Amino acid sequence: MTATNTDIGKTYTTKLLLREFASRGILVGVIKPIETGVIDGYAADGEELLACAKECNHKLWSLEVEDIVPITYELPAAPFVASNNIPFDLKKIQIKIQEMEASCDLVIIEGAGGLYVPIDENTMMIDLITYLKATALLVTHCSLGCINDTLLSQKALQERNIPHAVAFNCKESDKSFAIVSEPYFLKTNQKVLKVNEDIVKICDVLYNL
């Protein structure tokens, strides 16, 4: 799970995916490797994901938020900055994913920010997707500028040969999308899948990638 930027709706979309896959009898799990902006040990996204994962998979009843979000930082910034460039502990992430996989058929991994958010001096978020050989869902916004933002992120995924789908998280304030942005995507034969309307189709696409 990645996005064109921060606050686009990754956690919101992740929860919808967890519930939809679970409704199909699939044992689901979730990992958010890094969360920044964690004040007094409270990982807001991690807590939401933990509650949803327990709701969707009875095998995860004993998990704690640290099992969902193994690395946290207080400063709400890119992990490189928030950690003062502490080298990324990939082994810690791998262990948590393996532990989650033991109780799941499918694990959703939610990234932080966008594809080129720096994790440490040598690692971007897109590098983590490549290393894990994961399929990506790119969540993009529907406000003015989404054509540019979406195409740039798609290009980055294509250059890495990362299989991916795109989902548009349209909010109530994005009423201009159908006029100023959607026509381009439709004219260029791209699927316009909207998070709030097409979560079933989005799951179908991801499942078949």
Annotated catalytic sites, by residue?
Answer: 32
Query: For every residue of the chain, which 3-state class applies, written as one string?
Result: CEECCCCCCHHHHHHHHHHHHHHCCCCEEEECCEECCCECCECHHHHHHHHHHHHHCHHHCCCCHHHHCCEECCCCCCHHHHCCCCCCCHHHHHHHHHHHHCCCCEEEECCCCECCCEEECCEEHHHHHHHHCCCEEEEECCCCCHHHHHHHHHHHHHHCCCCEEEEECCCCCCCCHHHHCHHHHHHCCCCCCECCCCHHHHHHHHHCC
Q: 10 Å Cβ neighbour count for 16?
A: 19
Residue 152 amino acid letter: L
